[in-house]
Amino acid sequence: MAERAGVHPGTASRALDPALPGRVTGQTKEKVERAARELGYTPDPAARSLRTRRSGSVGVVVPDLTNPVIPPIIRGIEEVLWSAGLACLLADTDNDVEREAAAIAELRARRCEGLIIATATRDSPTVAALNGADPPAVLVTRDIDAGSLPFVAADDAAGVRRAVGHLAELGHRHIAHVTGPPSLSTTMIRSRAFHDAMVEQQGAGAPAPVLHAEAFTICYAALAAAGLRCPEDMSIVGHNDMPLVDSVQPPLTTVAIPQRRIGTEAARLLLERLGGDAAPAPRVLLGTELIVRASTRRPKGPGGRPSAAQDGGEAVDSRTTSSGSS
Amino acid sequence: MAERAGVHPGTASRALDPALPGRVTGQTKEKVERAARELGYTPDPAARSLRTRRSGSVGVVVPDLTNPVIPPIIRGIEEVLWSAGLACLLADTDNDVEREAAAIAELRARRCEGLIIATATRDSPTVAALNGADPPAVLVTRDIDAGSLPFVAADDAAGVRRAVGHLAELGHRHIAHVTGPPSLSTTMIRSRAFHDAMVEQQGAGAPAPVLHAEAFTICYAALAAAGLRCPEDMSIVGHNDMPLVDSVQPPLTTVAIPQRRIGTEAARLLLERLGGDAAPAPRVLLGTELIVRASTRRPKGPGGRPSAAQDGGEAVDSRTTSSGSS
DNA sequence: TTGAAAGCGCTAACAA
DNA sequence: TTGTTAGCGCTTTCAA
């Protein structure tokens, strides 16, 4: 192609390089660009990678793409990374630690320039090993206990606090928290926040039962099976805005999280690190919203049935914001 | 690393190549493998690509990751491709034709070995240009009018036929079809199948109204706004199994499609093409299921209100299968 | 079975 | 401003 333009390959390379302006004559630049256009030339990324030691790709590891929380996050990641000229290599681990380890190994073998991990369990050694290692990694949604990797998530603690506050305001006294497996940081952050909020509301001695479910799902069916009605017998607050939870019966009051922004922030953080910014690992907690629907209401009698704050579902009604911090 | 093993780089390369057995002494192989392990050596994919002319990656272009139909398809794709040693480069176009064109161009520039496209509109020139071109492309879910690229989707026509049959069996006479934008093959296949099924049920002269919505969504809200109740005044059948449509009121009867298998079949088809199998572009249509729930029932009086067959939503109840073909 | 050597297509340091 | 040159790390043909 340089031949076609009548210039030396090195010159052609410079002409096509958008950085460093004025490194080449306008005339030369034009000749080269025309030749490239006519030949449909695009630089070979393998050769370029070999020379520049940059792969131009970032690995994105997710636990399960069919979990509705994930796709908006990926879209956010993709948008930011794409416009920075980086492609996303996607790996879905199906919540399997071995597949997580295999995915991370493969992504490193492929020389990804960075890693965004949404699969971390609290004790994951594979993820912990990423600490301070190359390539830089950013954790989203799920954190590890050890070490300190950059982490982006919703401010779940504030969300839970607000959910408990909402129920308390309605007059509920008996409040339980149904959450996910203890192996996830998400679970621990939420249940600790629940405990703290209950102490704040009802004093240190009050019961604040926490139940661990195997997954974050809606518990309407379990309620019905127990012969209880929502919201007549019990109020329910969900966590995470999901499609259609505004259409179930009753429409679910939930804590909504800024999924897309979790993605964009994580990508931005990674870009910073790629830019050589090695500030101590930041934790970015983004604000949540409480969306009040029909699944929560004032209890009938005083000392009525308990109200469960729960993890999993949400859309658009009456909103109040729990400010996030970073 | 070859140095560490005390052998020539060429020998090390052969030792690490799983193909062509017996190309190297067991002893040499062992030495090389130990050195590789000790050094944490993995072959540089850029150098390898440069030499072998293979990038080891496939581009996957989707219209919108938050559309619940997409993630299971991607999981299927990823599973098959991953075990074939290929990575997925993901591009989300947000249903934008320009972004689709940009994504495909970028993926080609990155020398993807194959393309899986879920974004095609019937008249997309960018996608049509992939016909017979390199790299090979497979279309999923959405087809183009011109040309003949390999295509994998659910057998929507059979699904619609069964939906109409179901409503007719219940005693419905006035049936309408609400579907998506005419720019999608999905829409045309379904509405034509609807028309044909109605002719079959009620003869050539009978009305078979088709309404085009901007997107595939649930039309309960519109129904309520019109002062109608489902299923008392009107039965509704959805298309595509979506989370929570079994939990809305009333639980939605829908045509379920084998999303994951669409992904695995598409990936398999692509692998065939990569293997040099240049058979004429196949069309794979996978079987659907009708899942009957509470949104469809026998109409109250004879000649009651119309029943709408509609596109968008579903989960697990009473199933019958519409066999797919390929 | 192993070593030697060439070259994939690019970029960057240097020279002109 | 442009040409020259070297070399990124691998695979593969050829020779030993």
DSSP A176-230: EEEE--TTSHHHHHHHHHHHHHHHHHH-TTS---EEE-SS----HHHHHHTT--T
Structure tokens at A26: 């306008």
Our measurement of CA B87 to C1' D13, in angstroms, reads 30
Residue B267 contacts A, CB cutoff 8 Å: no
Residue nearest to nucleotide D2 (CA to C1'): A11
Site of tokens 């067959």: B309
Q: What is the pLDDT of residue B318?
A: 56
Task: Tell me how many residue pairs between chain A and chain B have CB atoms under 8 A apart.
Answer: 128
Least confident of A277-291, B137-151, B308-322: B308-322
pTM above 0.85, yes or no: yes
Q: Is residue A304's pLDDT more than 60?
A: no
| Per-residue b or e along B160-193, where b marks 16 or more CB atoms closer than 10 Å to that residue's CB | bbbbbbbbbeeebebbbbbbbeebbbbbbbbbeb
Tens-place pLDDT, residues A173-198: 999 999 999 999 999 999 999 999 99
Name chain A contacts of B106, Cβ cutoff 8 Å.
87
Name chain A contacts of B78, Cβ cutoff 8 Å.
90-92
Q: How many CB atoms lie within 10 A of CB A173?
A: 16
- Distance from the Cα of residue B148 to its chain's centroid: 17
Structure-model confidence comparison of residues A318 and A75, the more confident one: A75
Least confident of A27-41, A274-288, A308-322: A308-322
CB contact under 8 A, B66 and A57: no
CB contact under 8 A, B65 and A47: no
Residue in chain A closest to B219 (alpha carbons) equals A247
Tens-place pLDDT, residues A53-64: 999 999 999 999
Site of tokens 């017996």: B22
- Cα B225-B228-B229 angle, rounded to 5 deg: 115
Strand D contact nucleotides, protein CB < 7 Å: 1-5, 7-13
Nucleotide nearest to B5 (CA to C1'): C2
Q: What is the pLDDT of residue A278?
A: 75
Helix, strand, coil content of chain B in percent (nearest 5): 35, 20, 45
Consecutive H or E run containing B167: helix B156-170
Residue B195 contacts A, CB cutoff 8 Å: no
Residues 6+ apart with CB under 8 A from A80: A263, A264, A267, A268, A271
Tens-place pLDDT, residues B308-325: 877 753 323 455 666 544
- Distance from the Cα of residue A60 to its chain's centroid: 11
Q: How far apart are CA A22 and CA A20, in angstroms?
A: 7
Tens-place pLDDT, residues A124-170: 999 999 999 999 999 999 999 997 899 999 999 999 999 999 999 99
Among the partner-chain residues A111, A243, A244, the one whose CB lies closest to the CB of B44 is A111
Q: What percent of chain A has pLDDT over 70?
A: 92
Average pLDDT over residues B274-285: 88
Nearest Cα to A258, choosing from A102, A141, A116, A118?
A141
For residue A14, name the pLDDT band (cuts at 50, 70, 90): very high
Say if CB A298 and CB A175 are below 8 A apart.
Answer: no
Q: What is the pLDDT of residue A325?
A: 45
CB contact under 8 A, A110 and B47: no
Q: How far apart are CA B124 and CA B90, in angstroms?
A: 20
Q: How far apart are CA A160 and CA B210, in angstroms?
A: 46
Q: How far apart are CA A265 and CA A261, in angstroms?
A: 6
Domains contained in chain B, CATH given: 2-43 (no CATH), 54-154+259-286 (3.40.50.2300), 156-257+288-322 (3.40.50.2300)
CB contact under 8 A, A90 and B78: yes
